[in-house]
Structure 1
Amino acid sequence: MTTDSCSPTPELPRERLLAHGAHVLTSAELLAIILRTGIKGCSAVNLGRRLIDHFGGLRALLSADAQTLMAIPGLGMAKTCELLAINELSRRALEEELKAGHAMNQPQQVKHYCTAKLGHLPVEHCMALYLDSQFRLITTEEVSRGTLSQASVYPREVIKSGLKHHAAALILAHNHPSGVAEPSEADLALTRHLKHALALVDIRLLDHLIVTGSGAVSLAERGQI
């Protein structure tokens, strides 16, 4: 991020929020409320703008880890913790929705949740969302962590966890750090193999999501399950 100084700004985001609602504020203004203060020569709003520009958008900013955030001029421990807390709260809110509702009726929420969990990761991770008979989320577990290009998923471990949680179904999700959401032949082969293995213990594989920083692709929606 450049170190050019920012001119002061008269914007008062907290007052605007209370008077007109959060929806009228810019992303930089909303960030300013979280950050509370700016840095020397740069208001909180302008600091918010600089952060969004530096990361190329809110998603990348709010998905950054502590080390990355702490390296940014103006972000000390307090501001870094505030940003990390906001990201985790948003993930937990999505998780609550899936635990309370019917996952198959909330495909976009499932995609948003998986994108929030996996989309920003630089190394391939695979996780399973274990669901009850009403397709409500029971829990989420990481089942594999691989290199930049490959992760090894062991169906027996997925099945073992599914039985432990008394799951009736599950959704598999893994990220492509390359940013390309197109499933590979290995992804499709894993999907077929896992679906068959789970069927032997009466657990349904409902979907396999390929996740990138910009969203998720559903193999079920593409007819590839």
Structure 2
Amino acid sequence: MHRAPGEYHISVKELPASERPRERLRQLGADVLTNAELLAVILNTGTRGESVLDLAQRLLVSFGGLVGLARADLVTLQQFHGLGEAKAAKLKAALELGRRLALAQPEERPVVRTPEDVYTVAGAEMALLEQEQLRVVLLDTRNRVLRTVTVAQGHVNGAQVRIAELFREAIRANAPAIVLLHNHPSGDPTPSHADIELTRSAVQAGQLLGIEVIDHLVIGHGRFCSLRRLGLGFPNS
């Protein structure tokens, strides 16, 4: 890493003991640590000229937070400057344990009863995306969220999204219901003709597969539209 003359990065050992992530965790508990501090505890060491806290913060910024970091595959993490094979594997393992813990506590999973519940799952995050993205929320028999998967990014419409992709993970997870969720980077959540056609095609395919499409939300800046609530693409809604 190239640094300007005189530029200096403090190491964790040079921080007061009360400010070191591991010491703070020991004294105060993990719940008070920031995401960067928790990552620093997992990674343990930084790189030449960069503390582990700096490395952790750079990771979060580069991947867009914990959600983006969790989505990154092992190869991508290994290629990130400052990680390497061992640290990337340790980080991936920690994130996977967190995912499995969430799945192991179904009573704490979000429950989807209304479009507002769906928006709470990922809507606020998606409103900030600069690119259009289509996600599928997988639900169990009690409409609890199993997980959310991204199936398309870029220009999302019925012509470019394969219907089979919408249901692939639902079939694997034996999920009886899904919700479609995508954003309009323009900020206007008004459903387009392509959005309506995609919804109609998904509903019809879901009926054949025995997987109910509960709703399709279009996310704008601070607001959203529910196609089911608007009666668009859903029969008898």
With normalisation by structure 1, the TM-score equals 0.63
Q: Of residues 5, 9, 12 in structure 2, which corresponds to 1:6? A: 9
Q: How far off is 1:96 after superposition?
A: 4.0
2:73 counterpart residue number: 65
Q: Of residues 188, 191, 194 in structure 2, which corresponds to 1:186? A: 194
Matching of residue 20 in structure 1 with residue 28 in structure 2: yes
Q: Of residues 32, 54, 62 in structure 2, which corresponds to 1:46? A: 54
Q: Structure 2: which amino acid aligns with 1:51?
A: L
Within 1, Cα distance between the matches of 2:180 and 2:195? 10
Within 1, Cα distance between the matches of 2:223 and 2:78? 29
Unaligned runs of 5+ in 2: none
Q: Structure 2: which amino acid aligns with 1:47?
A: L
Matching of residue 84 in structure 1 with residue 92 in structure 2: yes
Q: How far off is 1:178 after superposition?
A: 6.3
Please identify, of 97-106 and 12-21, the stretch whose mean Cα deviation from structure 2 is larger: 97-106
Q: Please report the RMSD computed on the Cα atoms of aligned residues, expressed in angstroms.
A: 4.8
1:173 counterpart residue number: 180
Change (3 A) 1:108 1:49: same
Within 2, Cα distance between the matches of 1:6 and 1:42? 6
Change (3 A) 1:197 1:108: closer
Within 2, Cα distance between the matches of 1:196 and 1:61? 34
2:161 counterpart residue number: 152
For residue 104 of structure 1, give the secondary structure of its aligned residue in structure 2. Answer: coil
Is contact 1:126–1:153 with CA below 8 Å preserved after alignment? Answer: no
Q: How far off is 1:38 after superposition?
A: 1.6
Q: Structure 2: which amino acid aligns with 1:129?
A: L
Q: Of residues 216, 219, 225 in structure 1, which corresponds to 2:226? A: 219
Matching of residue 111 in structure 1 with residue 121 in structure 2: yes
Residue deviations 1:157-212 (CA, integer Å, cap 9, x gap): 959x77x9583xx1233556969784543222222343356468876422225589
Q: Of residues 117, 140, 149 in structure 2, which corresponds to 1:131? A: 140
Q: How far off is 1:99 after superposition?
A: 7.8
How many residues are treated as equivalent by the alignment?
Answer: 211
With normalisation by structure 2, the TM-score equals 0.60
